[in-house]
Amino acid sequence: MSCRSESTGLPAEPQHLVHQALQYLALLLVMALVGIGPVRAAVDDTRPGNPPDDAAPITLAEVATGELLFRTAVAGEYVPAVQLHTRADIQVNGFIANIDVVQRFKNTTRDWVEGVYVFPLPETAAVNAMELRIGERVIVGEIREKQQAREAYAAARKQGRKAALVEQRRPNLFATAVTNIAPGQEVEVHLSYVETIMYDSGTFTLRFPMTITPRYIPGARTQATEAPLGIAPGSGWAANTDQVPDAAEITPFLQPRRSMSLRPRNPIELFVRIDPGLPLAGIASTYHEIQVVRQSGIYAISLTGGPVPMDRDFELTWQPAVGFAPRAALFTEQLDGQTYALAMILPPEQNVETLRLPRETVFIIDTSGSMGGEPMRQAKAALQVALSRLGAHDRFNVIAFNDWPSLLFNEVRPATPQHLSTAQDWVGRLQSGGGTEMMRALDAALLPPSLDSGEYLRQVIFITDGAVGNEAALFRSIAGNLGDRRLFMVGIGAAPNRHFMRKAARFGRGHFTHIGRQDEVERKMEVLFDRLEKPLLRDIRLDWPAGSEALTQPDPVPDLYAGQPIIVTARLATLGGTVSATGLTAAGAWQQSLELTASRSHRGVATLWAREQLAAMNDQIALQGETDERRARMLKLALRHQLLSRYTSFLAVEQKPSRPLSMADRSRAVPNLRPHGQSLQPFAYPQTATSSVEAFWFGLVGLIATALLWFRVMTIRVATAPQGPQR
């Protein structure tokens, strides 16, 4: 009621009359005492306000308007200001995939617009070409230092020239900005990238991510949300924080949930052409319906029924026919007088009976808000399967976390039927909600010192969607606190943060499994548990022939789990000779060699090598921090190999201006789709009452007591007063 203006009529309740009187009293009192304090700008005043010119950078508040969704004839149907249509052409040759992605932006408004689209690509993607196409015109993108590219883009935007900028914001998160799109116009941004096909347990896997699970941003909001040049600052829903200084760049908006029309939003057409070089036993798509056409050993795959909405990852798997499984392979490319090679060696399966060591397993389950719905059910099911696999000699504990970790037991307990049943009940009751303070959960799992680690195989199994923005800090924590443990990641949901999963498992010396659907839980967890039990190939070394001056990645080669191949990229001075791989298995030493002979040149091998080098440097920066020297090395390599990286961006600028400067260019975000199966975001209710009402009543009680006492004192005085003079 204090918020009503004074002219409002008297409130009905007497309680509030008293309050109002009190308020006026207090108002006068405090006015007199306090005076009016100074007003201070919380943000640095040096930053200029919005200059009034038309091409001014759009402010956060402006981008964050609902105008990015326009009203249409159909009630409840939204049309984004910038419509996006994606087409992906994937060409697979053996272990290497070359992918062309076309993002077509259509301006549906009557204004000139800038479209900003933040999108995922595979975490191993090496983006090496970009083009901007406006009708028949093709403008080839150049690789530039990131900040330079942003400045040039901002300048072009201001001058009314069409321009496109593609940036890397995380190894699996990219952004395209296209500016000066005329009303009703369509422009296309073409991207090309190379990646290696995963090969594991006799299955090839190709993934194409399509949307982003919103990432949790930990830390305190930093006041000065610095606007990156060029790309609109408001392309994200999160404010930058001390822990995630670029939060606004990695948190794209999601589209409204419901769609009345049958036409998919953010539609994608997808075509895959596989030249496996060997006969296949089968091709399957895990989350989409596909059509497969085979012609002279080449398989052409397309989506059944045309374009689909980009709301879940695309995953394609294929198996070689029996007896044709590759044991070793070599792909080479000659470039600028250097030889680049991609080598694959698959150690044979060994059925060695090993002594099964008792395990000490700590499970971490993510119960944050982003896990709500289908993901939470999958996570709980996975954890229940895992619990049922524990043996009587094992010890375990479960940590569930959102804002804070909560532990099932104070410390690891033996996996007795009683403890297991307690655990199963506890897990069954878990609910999603709240933040994703992953660091606290990891600390709870990794920091307790080992009691008698010699007798136990210590493992941490981490079930999460990886939707966090502070990946680097988490990697540091994992690498620093791991000790003799191994960390196994179980990725959950239709669009998990695979970069986080893969790298966390790498730094945790474990393995990464992804569960995208409820019916995959059993099978994937079985594979994971086989991995936990089977002997590893450790201490892997590669000996390259003398004089080859091999520069290789990954270096050292991480431990292998059963069914995984060694995949190495190398730059060699000369071809010839053999590379020999050695390692330790439970059965003893293992050795295998591969002849380095020239074959036909494979497009993309050099790019993959450079990408692996960059990834290694990136890891080093994540662990040891950014230095000028590391930055310079990465920048040089990325520029030389024309690769998109954390320090380089692709930029294409049209020569002639097209937008009349009398008209404005408005920035519009292209929203992503909510990952399939993810549910509503729950929040805690805020505390919305003060103690003023209680205080009023307490005060009243006190006043009544005073009045009673005063009355008593008066009556005593009256009673005793006349007696005095008589004595």
Relative orientation angle of helices 471-481 and 498-507, to the nearest 10 degrees = 20
d(CA 250, CA 472): 14
Minimum CB separation of residue 31 from other proteins in Å reads: 7
Closest C-alpha to 597, from 577, 626, 567? 577
By beta-carbon proximity to other proteins, the closer residue of 588 and 725 is: 725
How many CA atoms does the CB half-sphere of 499 hold within 13 Å?
28
The C-alpha angle with vertex 623 and arms to 621 and 626, in degrees rounded to 5, equals: 30
Minimum CB separation of residue 329 from other proteins in Å reads: 45
Write phi, then psi, for 101 (nearest 5 degrees): -115, 130
By beta-carbon proximity to other proteins, the closer residue of 24 and 324 is: 24
Minimum CB separation of residue 34 from other proteins in Å reads: 8
At 523, list the tokens.
């099978």
Q: Are 304 and 270 in contact (CB under 8 A)?
A: no
Helix (H), strand (E) at residue 513: strand 512-515
At 48, list the tokens.
């200029």
At 418, list the tokens.
């009683």
By beta-carbon proximity to other proteins, the closer residue of 70 and 324 is: 70
Q: Is 129 helix (H, G, I), strand (E, B) or coil?
A: strand
Minimum CB separation of residue 120 from other proteins in Å reads: 18
Q: Mind giving me the DSSP string for 594-641?
A: EE----SBPTTHHHHHHHHHHHHHHHHHHHH---HHHHHHHHHHHHHT
Minimum CB separation of residue 654 from other proteins in Å reads: 30
Minimum CB separation of residue 662 from other proteins in Å reads: 20
User: Which amino acid is it at 374?
Assistant: E
The C-alpha angle with vertex 132 and arms to 130 and 138, in degrees rounded to 5, equals: 105
Q: Are 189 and 97 in contact (CB under 8 A)?
A: no
d(CA 345, CA 199): 11
By beta-carbon proximity to other proteins, the closer residue of 298 and 695 is: 695
CB atoms within 10 A of CB 83: 17
Minimum CB separation of residue 261 from other proteins in Å reads: 11
At 377, list the tokens.
């059910």
By beta-carbon proximity to other proteins, the closer residue of 37 and 306 is: 37
Minimum CB separation of residue 672 from other proteins in Å reads: 10
By beta-carbon proximity to other proteins, the closer residue of 59 and 205 is: 59
CB atoms within 10 A of CB 523: 11
Cα 268 to Cα 87, 220, 445: the distances in Å are 5, 37, 41
Minimum CB separation of residue 214 from other proteins in Å reads: 8
Which residue do the tokens 């005593």 mark? 716
By beta-carbon proximity to other proteins, the closer residue of 16 and 517 is: 16
By beta-carbon proximity to other proteins, the closer residue of 39 and 355 is: 39
Minimum CB separation of residue 195 from other proteins in Å reads: 31
d(CA 491, CA 313): 13
By beta-carbon proximity to other proteins, the closer residue of 252 and 604 is: 252
580, β-bridge pairs:
543, 593
Relative orientation angle of helices 471-481 and 438-446, to the nearest 10 degrees = 0
Q: Is 82 helix (H, G, I), strand (E, B) or coil?
A: strand
Minimum CB separation of residue 212 from other proteins in Å reads: 13
d(CA 654, CA 569): 37
By beta-carbon proximity to other proteins, the closer residue of 469 and 558 is: 469
Minimum CB separation of residue 238 from other proteins in Å reads: 9
Minimum CB separation of residue 158 from other proteins in Å reads: 18
Q: Is 505 helix (H, G, I), strand (E, B) or coil?
A: helix
Which residue do the tokens 């399939």 mark? 676
Minimum CB separation of residue 51 from other proteins in Å reads: 11
User: Which amino acid is it at 389?
Assistant: R
Minimum CB separation of residue 443 from other proteins in Å reads: 24
By beta-carbon proximity to other proteins, the closer residue of 404 and 697 is: 697
By beta-carbon proximity to other proteins, the closer residue of 417 and 686 is: 686
By beta-carbon proximity to other proteins, the closer residue of 237 and 529 is: 237
Question: What does the chain come to in residues?
Answer: 727
By beta-carbon proximity to other proteins, the closer residue of 122 and 675 is: 675
By beta-carbon proximity to other proteins, the closer residue of 117 and 647 is: 117
At 495, list the tokens.
């669009």
Does the N-terminal peptide bond of residue 218 adopt cis geometry, omega within 30 degrees of 0? no
Minimum CB separation of residue 264 from other proteins in Å reads: 16
- Mention every residue, 6+ apart, whose C-beta is less than 8 A from residue 193: 98, 99, 101, 121, 122, 125, 126, 127, 128
By beta-carbon proximity to other proteins, the closer residue of 403 and 555 is: 403
How many CA atoms does the CB half-sphere of 540 hold within 13 Å?
24
Relative orientation angle of helices 374-388 and 417-428, to the nearest 10 degrees = 180
By beta-carbon proximity to other proteins, the closer residue of 452 and 683 is: 683
How many CA atoms does the CB half-sphere of 308 hold within 13 Å?
19
Minimum CB separation of residue 512 from other proteins in Å reads: 27
CB atoms within 10 A of CB 722: 8
- Mention every residue, 6+ apart, whose C-beta is less than 8 A from residue 296: none
